[in-house]
Amino acid sequence: MNESRSESYKAAGVDVTAGYEAVKLMKPMVESTFTKGVMGTLGGFGGLFRPDFKGMEDPILVSGTDGVGTKLKLAFLMNKHDTVGIDCVAMCVNDIACCGAQPLFFLDYIAVGKNHPEKVASMVAGIAEGCRQAGCALIGGETAEMPGFYPEDEYDMAGFSVGIVDKAKMIDASRLAADDVLIGVASSGVHSNGYSLVRKTLGINEKSVKRYIDEFGKTLGEELLTPTKIYVKAIQHVAAKADVKAISHITGGGFYENVPRMLCDGLRADIEKAAMPVPPIFGLIQQTGKIPERDMYNTFNMGAGLVMAVAKDDADKALAAIAEAGEKGYVIGACVAGDKGVELR
């Protein structure tokens, strides 16, 4: 039995026993993500994982880290905390998967103004769900109670993931060529970036998040809290069926910042905006805020959570594989000779 407690620390705003209760509540959720390589369970000083290198000639570790950002403000307003953990995982594992890697494990960091064990467990439930979707294990984390630093009902959430890929199977744009086709893979909405602009533009408050919008079939708050899609398994399925040469995860900075990251020198991305449907939420944001179209494509994913590059002859196979994986894909452009960058028309 854990005998650690401190009335003095509790009087200062930190209740260590609440932390123990939170761990007790989250333990089954965490263990539900465990994969073959996990060693031990919660409570150690480090998360242990034994990677399996069988079948790999030159294994490469790939890591990614990120947080949820100001999308958390929506969770506070709606008192709904069981989905933002999916966003936290997605923002890390999708980046890793762009290299062709399989995420192995994830660790989270949650900082709270006051530790409400059930609330923290709800946050971790979302993280665990994200890990299950990505096929990786949640092997550890940290919950920090920080009174006076965060308001009692607010928190921050971040994390990182480590994955692995055989060097021969890395997706790194080294074979990218002119006339390779660009395929957009549909997003689930705004995902987890640009929320400072979203909140300012739409006047997000306790009243506005409850407004039901017929076009969405849900409230504005529910639409904006839709979790980021996790593309790990879809990418793996497509890569097994077609020759995927490069992938871009469309996050903060939109198309103008992220698409060039998938290109090699001497190639530009020529993208036709009308080739892919834009979810209604982006129209609402743009019209309400009178935001220039270029700024929209420089901030949001505009309906494309991923952009994949494949050889022209592989486009149909890639589109079929995307559909088999349960996602929607659209040919949105091609690679062309020119200065490295992106042209949207």
Residue 8 has pLDDT above 70, yes or no: no
For the segment 324-336, the average pLDDT, to the nearest whole number, is 98
| DSSP class of 339 | S
Distance CA 91, CA 192 (A): 8
The count of other CB atoms within 10 Å of the CB of residue 337 is 10
- Show the tokens assigned to 33: 């993500």
Amino acid at 195: Y
More confident residue, 252 or 1: 252
Q: Is residue 93 part of a domain?
A: yes
Do both 187 and 147 map to the same domain? Answer: no
- Same domain? 148 vs 255: no
pTM of the model: 0.94
Do 64 and 210 sit in the same domain of this protein? no
Look at the alpha carbons of 165, 168, 173, 174 in this order and tell me if their dihedral is positive or negative: positive
Each residue's pLDDT tens digit, 208-226: 999 999 999 999 999 999 9
Residue 175 lies in a domain: no
The dihedral formed by the CA atoms of 166, 167, 173 and 177, expressed in degrees to the nearest 10: -100
Q: What is the domain-level CATH number for residue 26?
A: 3.30.1330.10
* Neighbour tally for 339: CB within 10 Å: 9
Domain that includes residue 324, residue range? 181-344
Q: What is the pLDDT of residue 9?
A: 63
Counted domains in the chain? 2
DSSP class of 101: P
Contacts of 274 (CB under 8 A, 6+ apart): none
Q: Which of 91, 183, 167 is nearest to 133 (CA)?
A: 91
**Mean pLDDT of the region 21-29:** 88
pLDDT in tens, 222-277: 999 999 999 999 999 999 999 999 999 999 999 999 999 999 999 999 999 999 99
- The CB density around residue 59, as the number of other CB atoms within 10 Å, is 15
In a domain, 174, yes or no: no
Contact 162, 63 (CB under 8 A): yes
Could you read off the pLDDT of 94-139 as tens digits, one per residue?
999 999 999 999 999 999 999 999 999 999 999 999 999 999 999 9
